[in-house]
Structure 1
Amino acid sequence: MDNNESQDRYGDSKRNSNAKSERVAVVGAVRSPFVKSFGVFENETALSLSLRVATELIARTGVQASDVDECIWGVVIPQTKNANLAREIVLFSGLPTSIAGFTLNKACDSSLQTAEIAADRIRLGKNQLVLAGGVEVLSDVPIPFSDEARRFLTKMSRARSFKERLSLIGSVNPKWFLPKPPALAEPFTGLTMGEHAEIMCVKNNVSRERQDELAYKSHINAAKATEAGYLKDEIIPIWCGKDKTIFVDKDNMIRPETTIEAMSKLKPVFDRKTGTITAGNASPLTDGAAGLLLASENYVKEKNLPVLGYIVDFITVGVDPNDQLLIGPAYTIPKILKNNNLRKEDIDVYEIHEAFAGQVLSCLDAMKNEKFCREKLDMPVFGDIPVDKLNIQGGAIAIGHPFGATGARLIGNALRIAKRKNGKYALVSVCAAGGIGMSVLLETK
């Protein structure tokens, strides 16, 4: 296989159809407010926000806590104090200790992956009720020391005498203990996500004007949805701050007052000379958590539970990081529809994660490019996604992007919009670090 081609891990329609023995229902979907990192959630942790989401899911749906079979949670920045966050959610929330839990990292696809694993376990009959979701609290990112400092501290802990410790101290270089921030670059390419997005914008001829226009619409649509009260059902209020005296019940990065003119004045942040990506047309660093409660259809009927919608199918692809790192949705959207014998017109709500406006536009342009569709997808041209079906209530550029939580937010958001529009199908697609793309097909009826 050519390095530029996607490697489709879940694209076999026969295998997919055999796995769909029982429908998987989304009976709950809630999240914290998404807020700017190093702000009002600076005293929160991945565990504290996840606990609020998990306990609220149980309370709102009214399910018996003892019926939960498993907790599966995503987080991208490693939490050294919560090595298995999912299990600690179970233990600290007061859920029965018999409930197992495990934590995963699939970059920005993390909470989509938790939902897929949960759905698969339910379809296989192993579970009937699962907590799935994810979190990111960049305000509480662990800051590691240098390798030299780590080796010194290890030797000090093993030293058996005062003389040995004194000898080690004499060899210390103070520079070893300067904080070492987490790496932002892709390990495989050495470039940051923003630099990869700039490459995509150049390769696909995506102008600064188009990027700013998409970002502007994201803020306006998110502001309108907030004002209309459409997000109240999904956002749980949080008391935060050192003394828990700060009340947050809305996302705090939406800018309804912004203008395209104001955005056009912002300086590029990754390629300062000729770049087009700015702080205005990229998603900001964000703290937040989001969760889902998934159940078998038999369990839903037995307990007479309300249902937001149903999980239909998932697909994951890998793309060459050296080519277009964030192009994954351009592969997964056409493929998942083909696997389920659907046309693009059958989808009522599309959600494409807004890591960068230029990345979204690159994916949209690729899907209506005959050469791309023929060579990369082995399909006829996919065509345009109607603007009135895409990111209807804004996206991550306005709302924010806690890496581990975005997928779960998008599932709940897409289903609520589809139900409000009396639509049947919704499709969520998320790009991720490492050259990964993932989509989930959802149904409301």
Structure 2
Amino acid sequence: MSAPSKKTLAKSGVKNVVLVDGVRTPFLLSGTTYADLMPHDLARAALQGLLKRTGLPKDAVDYIVYGTVIQEVKTSNVAREAALGAGFSDKTPAHTVTMACISSNQAMTTAVGLIAAGQCDAVVAGGVEFMSDVPIRHSRKMRKTMLSLNKAKTLGARLSLLSPFDLKKCFSNSDCCLNFKCGDVIVTGRDIVSKDNGIRPATMEQMAKLKPAFIKPHGTVTAANSSFLTDGASAVLIMSEEKALAMGYKPKAYLRDFVYVSQDPKDQLLLGPTYATPKVLEKSGLTLNDIDVFEFHEAFAGQIMANLKAMESDWFGQTYMGRKTKVGAPPMEKFNTWGGSLSLGHPFAATGCRLVTTVAHRLQKEGGQYGLVAACAAGGQGHAMVIEAYPQ
């Protein structure tokens, strides 16, 4: 871990925006304990957990933004439904955004924009995904049957297989999950749910027997090296620093520069981190070596390995990115050390808040100053954000 720098990324004339705290529900395999709930039930649970964690007065929130990917038609604006259910003031506006796997990233940066523009002082952002009941236009009973048949083919034992990197991460992350190292899991639902349930330790021999999910017989994506179908929700409290301090909060981190990128989805579908990382570093005036904590979303093991390889390739940097040299890959000792989407799960629209909250916690625990979040999204899009530790 590099020694903290005296440099701060605060900008003259620009409000400091802070992450006060963040929570998430346990991330569960779809079709398990949450199966009979609705998306707004999970989102409500996350919001109530945030209120309990922070002691925030419900009428102190100026705006609520939530992300979701697979929309439940009965509650298309899930942000509003969940906010009312959680007891927020009916005078607090709420809207829902969607941007594939970076939907809650979009919710958070929307919050940052509202605060930076002086429109709000306190915004709650979050995301929810409910894969137990994808709104296929059949009866719920038929939909559950169809999902069960599909999961039987695609889930199975689930740990990373494509590289030693993935196997190491998933085994080490099982302790992280079960011991709540991340500190942002809450209890939700009618049944008491206290931990994630997607970690399934297995041997290399067991994993090697799994068949590829897409390209057969020689494909490399299997149930062992993919993020599993996940139900879960997350929520974060974002405020202006001035407002947070006035209300007696000790923020966890500053939310600094961020970027969104888009590429041709035909051959660069999930390479968003490769493109977004150098752009956000340049915007912040930082280098890769300045970053103490990296949290990248893991869609598939192959997606992570492709990004790391592209970032380490001079040819890719020159041919596709117009750079003189490679981007450079994050050091593995700083990378996703508390668990990633492969081991913890990936409720599409909830993952972004998990990433940001994890960076804030890791910076506090490890004594670093700067963290970087990066994620890919369907359609060839991506996001990256720099996070600065709040002085302790």
Q: Return the TM-score normalized by structure 1.
A: 0.78
C-alpha separation in 2, matches of 1:130 and 1:213: 41
* Cα displacement (A) at 1:228: 4.4
CA distance in 2 between partners of 1:360 and 1:20 (Å): 38
Cα shift at 1:382: 2.0
Cα separation, 2, equivalents of 1:402 and 1:97: 27
Q: Deviations over 1:334-371 (max 9, x none)?
A: 11111111110111111111100000010011011002
2:114 counterpart (103, 121, 124)? 121
- Report the alpha carbon displacement of residue 261 of structure 1 after superposing the two structures with TM: 3.4
Q: CA deviation at 1:219?
A: 1.6
Structure 1 unaligned residues grouped into runs of 5+? 1-15, 147-177, 183-208
Shift of residue 210 of structure 1?
6.8
The gaps in structure 2 that reach 5 residues or longer are 1-8, 147-159
- Tell me the SS of whatever aligns to 2:224: coil
1:99 aligns with 2:92: yes
Match of 1:87 among 73, 80, 83: 80
Cα distance between partner residues in 1 of 2:205 and 2:385: 36
Match status 1:29 vs 2:14: no
Contact 2:273-2:375 within 8 A present in 1 as well: yes
**Distance change >3 Å, CA 297–CA 278, structure 1 → 2:** same
Post-superposition CA distance 1:265-310 (Å, at most 9, x none): 2211111211111100011100000111100011012112021111
* C-alpha spacing 1:331/1:401, structure 2 compared with 1 (3 Å): same
Provide the rounded CA distance (Å) in 2 between the counterparts of 1:94 and 1:377.
Answer: 47
Rounded to whole Å, the distance in 2 between the matches of 1:428 and 1:73 is 19
Q: Which residue of 2 aligns with 1:272?
A: 216
The answer to whether the Cα contact below 8 Å between 2:35 and 2:132 also exists between their aligned partners in 1 is yes
Counterpart CA distance in 2 for 1:283 and 1:210 is 12
CA RMSD of aligned residues (A): 2.3
Which residue of structure 2 lines up, in the alignment, with residue 292 of structure 1? 236
Alignment partners' CA distance in 2, 1:101 and 1:442: 25
Deviation at 1:218, TM superposition (A): 2.9
Distance 2:134 2:220 in 1: 28
Q: CA deviation at 1:125?
A: 0.7
- Equivalent position to 1:235, from 179, 185, 188: 185
- Higher radius of gyration, 1 or 2: 1
Per the TM alignment, residue 412 of structure 1 is displaced from its structure 2 partner at its CA by: 0.5
Matched residue, 2:58 = 65
Describe the superposition over 1:68-127 as per-residue Cα deviations: whole angstroms up to 9, x where unpaired.
Answer: 001100110011110211111222222111100000110000000000000011011100
Q: Which residue number in structure 1 is paired with residue 385 of structure 2?
A: 440
> Residue by residue, what CA displacement relative to the aligned partner does 1:192-226 show, whole Å, maximum 9, x if unpaired?
xxxxxxxxxxxxxxxxx972423312321211213
Q: Which residue of 1 aligns with 2:134?
A: 141
Task: Report the counterpart of residue 163 of structure 1 in structure 2.
Answer: none
Measure the CA separation in 1 of the matches of 2:70 and 2:206: 33
Instruction: Report if aligned partners of 1:69, 1:129 keep a CA contact under 8 Å in 2.
Output: yes
- SS class of match (2:70): coil
SS at match of 1:221: helix
Structure-1 residue corresponding to 2:172:
221
CA distance in 2, matches of 1:64, 1:375: 53
Cα distance per residue 1:215-256 (max 9 Å; x no partner)? 31232121121354413x2000123xxxx3x3211110113x
Q: Which among 257, 264, 278 is matched to residue 313 of structure 1?
A: 257
- Identity rate of aligned residues, in percent? 37
The residue type equivalent to 2:299 in the other structure is A
Q: 1:50 touches 1:135 (CA, 8 Å); kept in 2?
A: yes
Q: How many residues of Structure 1 are paired with residues of Structure 2 in the alignment?
A: 367
Q: Indicate if the aligned counterparts of 2:14 and 2:116 stay in contact, CA closer than 8 A.
A: yes
Are 1:48 and 2:37 an aligned pair? no
Distance 1:87 1:61 in 2: 20
Corresponding residue of 1:398:
343
Provide the secondary structure at the position in 2 that maps to 1:280. helix
In the TM superposition, what is the alpha-carbon distance from 1:264 to its structure 2 partner? 2.2
SS of residue paired to 1:311: strand
How far is 1:384 from its partner?
Answer: 2.9
SS of structure 2 residue aligned to 1:307: coil
